[in-house]
Amino acid sequence: MISDKLNDLQDYPFWRMNALVKDIPLPDGHADAIPMWIGEPKHGVPEIAREALSGSFDGYGIYPPIEGTPALGRTMAGWLNRRYGLPDTLIDPDRAILPVQGTREGLFMIALAAVPRAKGSKTPVALLPNPFYQPYKGGAVCAGAEPVFLSCRRETNFLPDLDALTPDVLERTAIFYLCSPANPQGTVADLAYYRRAVDLARKHDFLLVSDECYAEIYDREPPSGVMEICAADNDLSNVVCFHSLSKRSSVPGLRHGFVAGDPAFLEAFLRLRKYAAASSSMSHYAAADVLWSDEAHVAENRRLYREKIDIAERILGNRFGFYRPPGGFFLWLDVGDGIEASKRLWGEAAVKVLPGRYLAEDMPDGSNEAAEFIRVALVSDLETTRTALTRIAETL
């Protein structure tokens, strides 16, 4: 017996990419391709985390608490307050913030806590950006919601088009996943956009899930966050945000992030997590505490990403619809046919990128909003990135 819900999930983009190039040989003289297909930061684990990671050996002798430690709760809340200028009174570290073992699992599992069996006797809806981070759809489908994909086009700053929401859909909406800075396009929601989304969530009683995992990687201005709206209203209802150390601190292997917001919702989420979630080890909690408390290593990461975007601007100029992403570290390039371009880059240039199509939903008529694009992750060192971008420009 296998759940038929899983039939609604396409193979994960990275599997599809591997299958796409499986039978295409790399060009002569190349043992491997330069990896630009996965958003895995390669700037190195910050040294400041070493002691915490090796110093809490005895922690492996206990079951770590799923809600983290009181000290970590205060640290995470303190970072959120500093980052967005929130009053200390908004986020109660004991009730309004929870660690997650990497935000992927939290973003998936949150739908299980937010989606009811029915909303007003109708099938509940999960609103998703299109293209989207795949676990949003995984959570929505496994929670029994109908995913509704919101178009993210250039004209809407690559953010979900809120004008396209109909009264029927809004009435049935149980959860809305929003991603800013957006993966893959790197555009950011401003406060006016967040205001509209929060007001809709409260008016139609759904949970707004604001995925802000790339909030610390930005070009010029620190992106706004949804908690600024909650602070203005002094109200956390119907809203949560997710933050991660994976991109901020280049520690995707630490598997640490947090969710903060509506305490009534987080109480229910914690109840679910006590049944279902894996907690991090005490040494990982200790390392997370150190990393959320430091800004110097994050500033250095930002500097490196900015330098790589400078390199991309010099090499790509105004080709392939290049623009400087205001947030995150992906280039979203319009190459005409993303799948063909990805195959050629693999076979002719030994560069591995991701076809945009794999990140977006195939519509019943066969169309796909991201078919013309490739996503290029600027995660390697400066020289490798320069080499890869030069090869991309020459090949395409």
Q: Which residues bind ligand PLP (CB under 6 A)?
A: 39, 102-104, 107, 133, 179, 183, 211, 213, 244, 246, 252, 257
Half-sphere exposure of 62 (CA within 13 A, CB side): 10
Query: Are the C-beta atoms of 90 and 228 separated by less than 8 Å?
Result: no
Select 93 or 102, whichever has its Cβ closest to ligand PLP.
102
- Cβ pair 283, 59 in contact under 8 A: yes
Shortest distance, CB of residue 29 to ligand PLP, whole angstroms? 31
Contact 114, 95 (CB under 8 A): no
Locate 348 and state its tokens.
């002719």
Residue 29 token pair? 């003289």
In three-state secondary structure terms, 223 is coil
Nearer of residues 172 and 375 to ligand PLP, judged by Cβ: 375
Residue 62 contacts residue 282 (beta carbons within 8 Å): yes
Compare residues 52 and 241 and give the one whose CB is closer to ligand PLP. 241
C-alpha dihedral sign at 74, 79, 85, 90:
negative
How far is residue 277's CA from residue 107's CA, in Å, rounded to a whole number? Answer: 12
Rounded to the nearest whole angstrom, what is the least distance from the CB of residue 395 to ligand PLP in the complex?
26
What does each C-alpha distance from 124 to 108, 181, 210 come to in angstroms? 16, 27, 19
Contact predicate 213/242, CB 8 Å: yes
Task: Report the nearest approach of ligand PLP to the CB of residue 245 (Å).
Answer: 7
Contact, 217 vs 249, CB < 8 A?
no
Residue 109 or residue 350: which is nearer to ligand PLP going by CB? 109
The torsion of the CA quartet 381, 385, 388, 390, rounded to 10 degrees, works out to: -140
Cβ distance to ligand PLP smaller for residue 246 or 279:
246
Nearest to 360 by CA among 164, 105, 150: 150
**Closest CB to ligand PLP among residues 259, 350:** 259
| Residue with tokens 């039978």, as numbered in its chain | 23
Nearer to ligand PLP, 183 or 396 (CB): 183
Nearer to ligand PLP, 211 or 369 (CB): 211
Can you give the length of the chain in residues? Answer: 396
Position of tokens 């994960």? Answer: 12
Q: Least distance to ligand PLP from the beta carbon of 73, Å? A: 18
